[in-house]
Amino acid sequence: MNTLIILKNGRLIDPVNSVDAQVDVWIKDGCIAGPGDSIPVDALVYDLDGKWVVPGLIDMHVHLREPGQEYKETIESGTAAAAAGGFTAVACMPNTNPINDNASVTRFILEKAVGAAARVYPVGAISKGSNGSELAEYGEMKMAGVAALSDDGRPVVDSQLMRRAMEYASSHNLLVISHSEESSLSHNGSMNESVVSTRLGLKGIPNAAESIAVFRELALAELTGASVHIAHVSTGDSVDVIRFAKDRGVRVTAETSPHYFTLTDAAVEGYDTNAKMNPPLRSELDRQKIRLALQDGTLDAIATDHAPHSVLEKSVEFDHAANGIIGLETSLPLSLALVRDGLISAGRLVELMSVAPARILGVPGGSLAIGEVADITVIDPDRQFVYTEETIISKSRNSPFIGWKLQGRAVLTLVGGRITHNGL
């Protein structure tokens, strides 16, 4: 821990400090240190040969399944998968069993996360049991350490309850993360409503099921002055609504996930349950609009919505399969494709995957200035690999990207100067 670590000959990409240059990074006592005059003999020196050195990636939307569904994922296995994917911190959603709607569950998660391979920021529930009828105790959860509030997995159906949640949350300086879904429209649907759903004979979920709910949240954020973050944006219509609200000065931020800018509902053909998630994969037009929104800033962050499920929940009829896919180990390579395609710069990628999540959650990170805690990701943008079941670190295997040849991955991850993943 006290050993000096030197990352030599890397390309330091640190947009907050306007750095994109070949700079050696010295890590001492868990923090970024200024370069010394000479290199001590016991220093750990890595010659990075132009690989990227970036502020630790932060995934602000994951499901760790502990407590209650440890057969799918645990805090230990989920953070190990995070480290392997280049993440130094994750925010975990409250839809565990029991739901994280009170201080004792929050404390349980934080205790389990001590010494884990990534920092863990628990998100508390908006309503007790996330069942939408009564607000949870925000002051108590904030004291215990929640970073934000969400009923993710389910929408808050009652608009008056959501209004009160925003008022109460902002009085505790807590962000509300919205799972935006108009359930009267999505009810019983298992994929995007499109020619594909018609052909497959599956009940569809129209785009409006998301954008109507997004519009409600933004109207309520304007009414209450609260900060709201829209989770897992899947449609171009939601992007338009968010852009409209941002132009009006509403305090809104939003994320999308790699599957929404990589795949379309065509992936459901063949009834592949690893292409089933909520919200569902959409059309090519939606995919294009999401990509442009990542470029123009309407979307602030990339988050995985890492949702581990076992074969018990996935190897069943499409209608009955659980929603969600794992994402921690594929997020970075899929996002690097945006840089290779010339859509965004490497610096913008760092904003989307580190700077913005830290700022939105109000947690440390996103900067590699001298004195900052050494949460660092080293990326080899050229490394190619085939994503196979055997190499997955997560406890679950539910990914539509298995068998894909991917390019670019994290080769070294450090949390507070501690190496949590080394694939150099």
Q: Identify whether 279 is preceded by a cis peptide bond (ω within 30 of 0).
A: yes
**Closest distance between Zn ion and the C-beta of residue 27, in Å?**
33
* Distant-in-sequence, close-in-space partners of 270: CB < 8 Å, separation ≥ 6: none
**Out of 5, 307, 355, 415, which residue is the one contacting ligand DOR (CB under 6 A)?**
307
**Closest distance between ligand DOR and the C-beta of residue 295, in Å?**
25
Q: 216 is in the binding site of which of ligand DOR, Zn ion, none (Cβ under 5 to 8 A by kind)?
A: none
Beta strands in 245-335 (DSSP E): 252-256, 301-302
- Judged by CB under 6 A, the chain residues 316 through 335 that form the site for ligand DOR are 323-324
Question: What is the token pair recorded at 423?
Answer: 């694939």
Per CB under 5 A, does 182 bind Zn ion? no
Q: Compute the distance between CA of residue 289 and CA of residue 296 in angstroms, rounded to an integer.
A: 10
**Closest distance between Zn ion and the C-beta of residue 150, in Å?**
8
Per CB under 6 A, does 349 bind ligand DOR? no
Per CB under 6 A, does 407 bind ligand DOR? no
**Out of 59, 151, 152, 286, which residue is the one contacting Zn ion (CB under 5 A)?**
152
Angle at 128 between CA 127 and CA 133, to 5 degrees: 65
**Closest distance between ligand DOR and the C-beta of residue 199, in Å?**
22
The answer to whether 228 and 221 have CB atoms below 8 angstroms apart is yes
User: If you search the block for the tokens 């009160």, which residue do you land on?
Assistant: 164
Show the binding pattern over residues 48-67: x = contacts ligand DOR (CB under 6 A), - = does not. Answer: ---------------x----
Q: Which is nearer to Zn ion, 33 or 156 (CB)?
A: 156
- Residue 141 CA to chain centroid, in angstroms? 21
Per CB under 5 A, does 265 bind Zn ion? no
Per-position b or e across 134-170, b if 16+ CB within 10 A of its CB: ebbbbeebbebbbbbbbbbbbbbbeeebbbbbbebbb
HSE value, Cβ hemisphere, 13 Å, CA-based, for 49: 6
**Out of 74, 77, 88, 95, which residue is the one contacting ligand DOR (CB under 6 A)?**
95
**Out of 61, 119, 179, 421, which residue is the one contacting ligand DOR (CB under 6 A)?**
179
- Residue 297 CA to chain centroid, in angstroms? 17
Per CB under 6 A, does 186 bind ligand DOR? no
Position with the least CB separation from ligand DOR = 324
Lay out the sheet containing 418-422: strands in order across. 19-22, 11-14, 52-55, 376-386, 405-415, 418-422
Q: 84 is in the binding site of which of ligand DOR, Zn ion, none (Cβ under 5 to 8 A by kind)?
A: none
Tell me which amino acid residue 82 is: A
Q: 86 is in the binding site of which of ligand DOR, Zn ion, none (Cβ under 5 to 8 A by kind)?
A: none
Per CB under 6 A, does 268 bind ligand DOR? no
Please confirm, yes or no, whether 305 is among the known catalytic residues: yes
The answer to whether 90 and 420 have CB atoms below 8 angstroms apart is no
**Closest distance between ligand DOR and the C-beta of residue 95, in Å?**
5
Residues near ligand DOR, by CB under 6 A: 63, 95, 152-153, 179, 277-278, 307, 323-324
**Site for Zn ion, rule CB under 5 A:** 152, 305
Which active-site residues does the annotation give?
305
